[in-house]
């Protein structure tokens, strides 16, 4: 049993991801949460002129230039006795693999939805990941200060698409230019909208019974008052009842309406979220359930990032602490290598800003210097604890291209850059049999990853290259690794490639080529890229 002080520290942790479709307002909401936590002094702009501040979570140079999030950011702050760990994720589907890994490291998720657009494709995909893991979902319907869809239609869409109940914690009073604020259903109060205060002052709720016709008319007008009364009566009579247990089991989503850009509704959302969400939960490690408060230190690597600081050119492994207390200068056991070592240069993260730490607790995300020994999914724990968390699956690439270095004098930089970025999980690299490192085949989940790769290779490694797109869209691993190139009958558009561990794969331009290979090579057995057998070392 760990000491009570450690247990108390763990109970006040809240670790969550913010997920959404691009442009729903996810990064803006993150900024405003940081503003309330005192982690930043003013919110940055996600898009705008070059002179504008950039969002704290969008720390990479390409993010600041393109106005999109391309990598998950870790941000921590204190708020009213809670220690809050936010993981801001990329919204674009081309970076969904990074988001998926991040969702493995959180205890709950905040889903941001554009009030005018409702559920969009990427929102749908990310929700399914949350549902699969039983992650509680809190919904923030954003941009109510603009024209929006009917809120009942939005709730109905959420319930039908995701198969969960919804409970509006507040209710919007119109939208767009007529937006007057929200009605707090629990406290029966009105929060009036003022788009000029911009969150610089705490919103004062106006206690007003919905039956106080005269007062309500003076606040929002007779027409909107009548509309609100009808809507609240309908909600109270027909909507789901609030059940905190259902919320924490991921079967009921509390819904909040607001405007992140104008900082309206963000503070009530944060306060309610912290009260309703859970501290770190027990996690499965094989057949063992690891208790965050009762077991010793354990953590897993969910992200690796090279060159966060160009001056240092280092490589950081991000670890989610699952149980116990981390202590600097103490030796821990790295399960995959079977060795004990001190975790070097432990740091707390605020996007790319870092601060050395002496200790951290279950729920926290820490960064440690990685000399090249860690891989995504690795487990680190107390010596003798005998725990290993399940590995994080790798997504199969859907796009392939030949990448060739231009300057032969930069062969080492080319190889280093390709290997380091591949180890982060953003790209997959393959080689044609007997080919050198000057020419590699790069596989990605989304084509925007090629833009990120090119930008990072130039800015971080000083390397330029030629890229030739390939028609291939399917990859399969050859189960029998003793089969050699040239011994199989393959269609002309099929390529044999080898990964960095020497494992053999075939890449195909379509399903027809896969079927042709199997029909003409009766002993050939192909594995899906994410099959457990294909992932083993």
Q: Are 251 and 164 in contact (CB under 8 A)?
A: yes
Structure tokens at 473: 């869209």
Q: Enumerate the CATH 3.40.50.300 domain ranges in the chain, comma separated.
A: 4-276, 283-381
For residue 65, give the 3-state DSSP assignment.
Answer: helix
- Give the Cα separation of 218 and 14 in Å (integer): 40
Pairing of strands 252-257, 353-356: unpaired
Residues 34, 69: Cα–Cα separation, whole Å: 17
Give the integer Cα–Cα distance in Å for 23 and 113.
9
The tokens for 145 are 């200060």
> What is the third-level CATH fold of 4-276?
Rossmann fold (3.40.50)
pLDDT reported for residue 92: 42
Going by C-alpha positions, the residue among 224, 199, 215, 240 that lies closest to residue 34 is 199
288-290/283-285 β-pairing: antiparallel
Q: Which two tokens stand for residue 228?
A: 């609100």
Among 389, 391, 377, 371, smallest CA distance to 297 is for 389
Chain centre to alpha carbon of residue 32: 18
Q: Which residues of the chain fall below pLDDT 50?
A: 1, 42-71, 91-92, 94-95, 196-200, 531-537
Structure tokens at 433: 């049999």
CB 352 within 8 A of CB 308: yes
CA of residue 128 relative to chain centroid, distance: 13
pLDDT tens digits, one per residue of 72-119: 567 888 899 999 999 876 544 544 566 777 888 899 999 999 999 998
CATH code of the domain made up of 283-381: 3.40.50.300
d(CA 368, CA 229): 55
pLDDT of res. 61:
45
Location of structure tokens 């820490």: 366
Alpha helices in 134-243 (DSSP H): 151-162, 213-220, 222-238
Superfamily of domain covering 399-535: Peptide chain release factor 3, domain III (3.30.70.3280)
Query: How far apart are the C-alpha atoms of 314 and 410, rounded to whole Å?
Result: 19
Query: What ranges make up the beta strands (E) of 267-314?
Result: 283-285, 288-290, 298-306
Give the C-alpha separation, 216 to 29, whole Å.
30
Q: So what's the pLDDT on residue 311?
A: 57
Q: Which are the contacts of 147, defined by CB distance < 8 A and separation ≥ 6?
A: 116, 175, 176
CA dihedral 64, 304, 126, 336 (to 10 degrees): 180
Neighbours of 482 (CB within 10 A): 7
Partnered with residue 114 across adjacent β-strands are 118, 142
The secondary structure of residue 177, as a DSSP letter, is G
DSSP three-state, residue 504? strand
Tens digit of each residue's pLDDT (9 = 90 or more) over 264-293: 889 889 999 999 999 999 998 988 999 999
């Amino acid at each position: 049993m760990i000491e009570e002080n450690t247990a108390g520290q763990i109970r006040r942790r809240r670790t969550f991801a913010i997920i959404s479709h691009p442009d729903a307002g996810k990064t803006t909401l993150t900024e405003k949460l940081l503003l309330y936590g005192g982690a930043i002094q003013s919110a940055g702009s996600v898009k705008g002129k070059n002179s504008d501040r950039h969002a704290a979570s969008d720390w990479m140079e390409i993010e600041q230039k393109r106005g999109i999030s391309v990598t998950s950011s870790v941000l921590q702050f204190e708020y009213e006795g809670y220690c809050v760990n936010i993981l801001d994720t990329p919204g674009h589907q081309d970076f969904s693999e990074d988001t998926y890994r991040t969702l493995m490291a959180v205890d709950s998720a905040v889903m941001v939805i554009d009030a005018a657009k409702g559920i969009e494709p990427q929102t749908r995909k990310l929700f399914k990941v949350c549902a699969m893991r039983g992650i509680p979902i809190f919904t923030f319907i954003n941009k109510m200060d603009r024209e929006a869809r009917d809120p009942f239609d939005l709730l109905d869409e959420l319930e039908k698409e995701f198969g969960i109940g919804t409970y509006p914690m507040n209710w919007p009073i119109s939208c767009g230019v007529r937006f007057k604020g929200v009605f707090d259903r629990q406290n029966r109060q009105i929060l009036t909208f003022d788009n000029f205060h911009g969150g610089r002052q705490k919103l004062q709720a106006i206690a007003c019974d919905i039956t106080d016709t005269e007062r309500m008319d003076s606040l929002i007008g007779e027409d909107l008052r009548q509309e609100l009364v009808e809507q609240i009566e309908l909600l109270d009579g027909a909507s789901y009842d609030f059940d905190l247990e259902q919320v924490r089991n991921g079967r009921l989503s509390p819904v909040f309406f607001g405007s992140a850009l104008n900082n309206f509704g963000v503070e009530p959302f944060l306060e309610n979220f912290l009260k309703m969400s859970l501290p770190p939960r027990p996690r499965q490690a094989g057949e063992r359930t690891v208790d965050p408060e009762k077991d010793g230190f354990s953590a897993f690597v969910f992200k690796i990032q090279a060159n966060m600081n160009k001056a240092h050119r280092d490589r950081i492994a991000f670890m989610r602490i699952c149980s116990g207390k981390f202590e600097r200068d103490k030796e821990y056991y790295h399960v995959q290598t079977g060795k004990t070592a001190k975790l070097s240069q432990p740091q707390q993260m605020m996007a790319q800003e870092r601060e050395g730490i002496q200790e951290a607790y279950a729920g926290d995300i820490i960064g440690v210097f990685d000399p090249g020994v860690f891989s995504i999914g690795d487990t680190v724990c107390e010596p003798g604890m005998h725990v290993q968390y399940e590995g994080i699956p790798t997504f199969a690439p859907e796009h392939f291209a030949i990448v060739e270095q231009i300057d032969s004098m930069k062969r080492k930089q080319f190889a280093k850059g390709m290997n380091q970025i591949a180890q982060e999980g953003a790209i997959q690299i393959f080689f044609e049999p007997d080919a050198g490192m000057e020419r590699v085949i790069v596989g990605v989940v989304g084509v925007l990853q090629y833009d990120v790769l090119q930008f990072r290779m130039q800015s971080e490694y000083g390397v330029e290259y030629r890229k030739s797109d390939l028609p291939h869209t399917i990859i399969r691993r050859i189960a029998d690794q003793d089969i050699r190139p040239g011994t199989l009958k393959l269609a002309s558009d099929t390529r044999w490639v080898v990964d960095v561990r020497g494992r053999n794969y075939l890449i195909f331009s379509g399903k027809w080529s896969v079927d042709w290979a199997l029909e003409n090579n009766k002993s050939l057995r192909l594995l899906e890229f994410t099959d457990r057998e294909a992932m083993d070392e």
